Amino acid sequence: MIFDKTSRSYSDLADESRCLGAGLISLGLRPGSRVGLLSRNCGAYFELLAACGFARTVLTPVNWRLAPGEIALVLKDANIDILFVSSEYLHIALDLMNDLGRAGRLILLDGTPPHLVRAYEDWRRPFEAVGAALPQANAGDVLLQIYSSGTTGAPKGVELTQGNMLASAKQTLHGLVGPWSADDRLLIPLPLFHAGALLTASYALFTGATSIVLKDAEVEALMSAAEHYRATKMGLVPALIQRMIGSATFRKERFATLDTIIYGGSPITSDLLHRALAAFDAGFVQLFGSSETFTVGTALSPDDHRDAALLATCGRPMKGIDIRVVRVDGSEADCDEPGEVLIRSPTVMKGYWRQPDQSAEVLRDGWYHTGDIGSLRQDGVLAICGRLRDMIISGGENIYPLEIENALSAHADVADCAVIGVPDERWGEAVIAVVVPAAGARPTPESLIAHLRERIASYKCPRSVILVDALPRNASGKVLKRVLRQTHGLGAVV
């Protein structure tokens, strides 16, 4: 594993983590205790992840992009027993842990600690030479508590077990996620509080591939690291792909050794996917899943990306994964009939932390109800239409925003876009498009609607187009449509 030009073997990492696991137990932590981590990517992520596995405690990485009040909600909800924090966020952590009555349970990962805060290196030193007496771990032990992206409201704590992580990592044995070996070098630019980043990290840990961890997803640093370390694999989200290929310093030659790009986390437009395929000499793997399934569900393999007929789909179920599509009444949908996508898999979460009602709502009879609308073809290929909650019903017609967004993104003057439904007295809901113009472009709402009328049915076309500088997104690149509805939903249709 490589971070900040420092490398070490997985064997050394395992030895250190066993000692750290003993250190967690010495603090009085018990199986199931929550261990918080508030930091950008760093070497301690892997140390603490493995340490929690050995100690049967639960690593709870916190999204550092959240506002202080939101971070406080996560820490309080998780009932954090101890918090490891970088100096960048120490000022936030001091007040929060004091409010939680755990002021003495704060460990600083870097820099000089103030009163009552311990330095990470000082804390861990006594355990490095001590034989670790550790409990027997079980596959059913919760290893990670990841807070969902919260595109629809307050985030929920997704409980992922050791068995979930192992089952996810074993997908490398079956070829759909590309060829993997100990000779591979995986570049990890995405934040490790993100399930997708942890998934690709699990591939490297399982196969023995080198993990090259970046502090954050800064485009130039990413491209420089890919070139310097001769990366063979990368895990990305569509928003980062767009930033990379749009960079003035992007050159295909900087990724000469790259053979596989794994992407997911949010929908990718047809236009962006085609530009990305042309920009890289590498195989692409698209993953469809969610935090609740450890981002495991279906895969569009490198071979599938060479078939134009499959590019608008999510590919086929991964090994050992069952996919169903059902109607509102729970009955099985016919081939090519849209319905809610259900997943049954050994990677599906244990549940939402301390939310039994919400857990029961999405986990029924062994199936996880994704909230996504999709259809299954006769050959088992899954196509996604959008989110169930994002579907627009206008004049009795079901309208899927993703179809409109794909058509809009093909316009040369459109850099980014999102489509929402807003209340309308006549039609029930009306379609609104929120568009980020391309650099230097000045599209008009009329020109964009005319573009759409040539490509989709007239009843699907937006009644209004709103031009903005940027779309609100969460850490995984998903557009926060609830924010758009709150901002543009009232009085927007004229």
State the pLDDT at residue 153.
58
CA angle, residues 119, 353, 197, in degrees to nearest 5: 60
State the pLDDT at residue 492.
40
Residue type, 291: S
Distances in Å between the Cα of 457 and the Cα atoms of 15, 161, 412, 449 are 61, 45, 21, 11
State the pLDDT at residue 494.
35
Between helix 401-409 and helix 270-279 the angle, nearest 10°, is 50
How high is the mean pLDDT in each 10-residue block of the chain (494 residues)? 95 93 93 98 96 97 89 93 97 92 94 94 81 83 87 78 98 95 98 95 98 96 98 94 95 97 89 95 96 96 95 96 96 96 98 96 97 95 90 87 92 95 87 96 96 93 95 83 85 39
State the pLDDT at residue 362.
97
Find out if CATH 3.30.300.30 is the number for domain 391-488: yes
Q: Indicate the CATH number for domain 160-387.
A: 3.40.50.12780
3-state helix, strand, coil in the chain (%, to 5): 35, 25, 40
Find out if CATH 3.40.50.980 is the number for domain 2-137: yes
State the pLDDT at residue 491.
43
321, 202, 349: which is closest to 262 by C-alpha? 202
Contact 185, 225 (CB under 8 A): no
Give burial (CB, 10 Å; 0-12/13-18/19+) of 169.
buried
Q: What are phi and psi of 10, to 5 degrees?
A: -65, -30
State the pLDDT at residue 428.
85
What is the domain partition of the chain in residue ranges?
2-137, 160-387, 391-488
State the pLDDT at residue 489.
72
Contact 242, 211 (CB under 8 A): no
Backbone dihedral region of 22: left (phi > 0), alpha (psi from -120 to 50 degrees) or beta? Answer: alpha
Question: Do the domains at 2-137 and 160-387 have one common CATH topology?
Answer: yes
Give burial (CB, 10 Å; 0-12/13-18/19+) of 486.
exposed
State the pLDDT at residue 266.
80
* Complete DSSP assignment for 289-350: --GGGTT-SEEE-TTGGG-GGGTTS-BEEPTT-EEEEE-TTSPBPPTT--EEEEEE-TTS-S
Q: Which residues does residue 424 pair with via DSSP β-bridges, in sequence order?
A: 428
State the pLDDT at residue 24.
94
What is the signed CA dihedral for 22, 23, 24, 27, rounded to 10 degrees? Answer: 120
